[in-house]
Amino acid sequence: VMKVKLRTTWGRLVNYLGTMVLSGIMGLIVWLIAIDQVNPLVTREYPDALPIEVRGLDAALMPVQDISKESVTLSLRAPQQTWDSIDPQTLVVYVDLTDYAKGPHEVPINVDTANSDIAVTAMDRRFLRIQLDDVMTKTVPVRVAVMDSAEYGYAWDTPTVSPSTLTVVGPAQQVNQVVSAEAPVYLRGATAQVERLQTVSLLNRSNQTVANVRAEPAAVDISIPVERWPGRRSVAVRVKLTGQPAFGYRLVRVTPDPSTVVLYGDAAALDQVPGSVETESLSLEGATGNVQARLQLLLPEGVNASEGNSVAVNAEIVPIEDSRTVTLRPIVRGLGENLKADFSPETVDVIMSGPLTLMNSLGPDDIYASLDINGLQAGNYVIEPNVIGPENIRAEGILPETVEVVITSLVTPTLSTPGGGTIPPPSTVTPDTVPTASSGPTPTATSAVASPAETEVPPLSTPRRTATASATSEATATPTP
């Protein structure tokens, strides 16, 4: 009996535990489904290529290629809400070069994620081909390359550079290719000593830049003396002007070509020349346009200009501008037949501008404003006026910018009655006599006869127009017998 009871109790306990486990599994499944609905897992490619870091590299070795140019594209799986917080700091791509020796290698690429919810599902490549070489240093001379020239009449002398040599650091096979460090300098027409702090380029025997090596220091100080040629002097050209442009015109600028000249000759005479040299006179008297001429330079005896003793001169002359306000009554254009146009306001103010001489010669009929209503039917419209005037005269503004135009029909509508007749336009009917009550017995109203105007009339086809008809009725008082 005891064995039967124990067996029964144990069976019940097993059934109970099985039910509990099954309930827990079902609850977990329901919870996972709910989580997936609220924050589902999303798999897609990360939009940015990620750079590859180098870890564990022996200090005596360097990669031959530039690892900074290497990158990897990843596909990730993460909850939707986690995707919004993923950035390049969350993902670290690297290769571990610990225990790797000199020579070529194929190294696996690793990815670290700062969030455990992020999983890497795919990579565009799993390995990085890399070649390691011994770190080497080498001392090379620095040479200065002057890329252009000083101002005409000036010459540059031998540059000085500090330091005159520098150290090249990098993989042995690249460092062995470097033969010099070059510092390019542009003088840009300098007339005095040039000072530069210039970055250097490391070159091979073919004057080509060697990659993946660095210079220590990366920049050098350069000084280039610039001096004037003996018996030479650079001065500005000053144009001498006479006369005035015509009325209504003004001088904008005067341009000599060249604007500076290099003088040479007797040293004593050059010392007497001021900072500029004049030309012969250029007359602007009565000019209404640009004045161009080739003028001689007024040079002291024994002094000449290196590019010739004359310069081309252009004096730019333009009309003087004027502006004024003109009040115009717009002209209606394109009005259809049997239509009438009224507009408000009846005048507009137009701000006109142009050359002073043209503005002074304007007549009352030279400028007009128009309202183009071509093709418009009866109704209300807002139209921008169009201003037309002489050539070179501009309309800078119109006040007001728009005009309200009301177009109405000149045709008077008529109304027809059901019997085929017509009803004239509304009029006021005054009865000839006014009925009065008699002194006899109390009158009784017998009838009211409707006039033809009281007959029901269909509505007009034009909603803007309405027609009304008046009706009169007559009442007769009949004494009661």
Q: What is the pLDDT of residues 26-72, one digit of tens each?
A: 777 766 665 555 678 889 999 889 999 999 999 999 999 999 899 99
Rounded mean pLDDT of the chain? 82
Residue scoring higher pLDDT (268 or 221): 221
Return the SS3 of 21.
helix
DSSP label at 341? E
Same-domain check for residues 100 and 158: no
How many domains would you assign to the chain? 5
Same-domain check for residues 139 and 224: yes
Least-confidence region, from 338-347, 357-366, 409-418: 409-418
Q: Report whether pLDDT(282) > 70.
A: yes
Return the SS3 of 296.
strand
Token code pair at residue 433: 């006599």
Last residue of a domain, one of 380, 409, 438: 409
- CATH no. for residue 65? 2.170.120.30
> Which residues are within 8 A (CB) of 450 and not within 5 positions of it... i.e. 6 or more apart?
471, 473
CA 119 – CA 74 distance, rounded (Å): 10
Same-domain check for residues 284 and 299: yes
CA 259 – CA 275 distance, rounded (Å): 12
Residue in 451, 356, 346 with CA at minimum distance from that of residue 406: 346
Average pLDDT over every residue of 83-89: 83
Same-domain check for residues 222 and 241: no
Last residue of a domain, one of 180, 209, 228: 228
Average pLDDT over every residue of 99-103: 94
Decide if 416 is inside a domain.
no
Summarize pLDDT for 444-478 with one digit per residue, the tens.
333 333 333 333 333 333 333 333 333 333 333 33
> CB neighbours (10 Å) of residue 313?
21
Same-domain check for residues 204 and 256: no
CA 227 – CA 205 distance, rounded (Å): 33
- CATH no. for residue 294? 2.170.120.40
pLDDT at 307: 86
Decide if 439 is inside a domain.
no
Angle at 331 between CA 412 and CA 346, to 5 degrees: 80
Same-domain check for residues 143 and 109: no
pLDDT at 23: 74
pLDDT at 4: 57
Decide if 469 is inside a domain.
no
The structure's pTM equals 0.48
Residue in 384, 326, 386 with CA at minimum distance from that of residue 354: 326
Full domain range(s) for residue 357:
322-409
Decide if 441 is inside a domain.
no
Decide if 169 is inside a domain.
yes
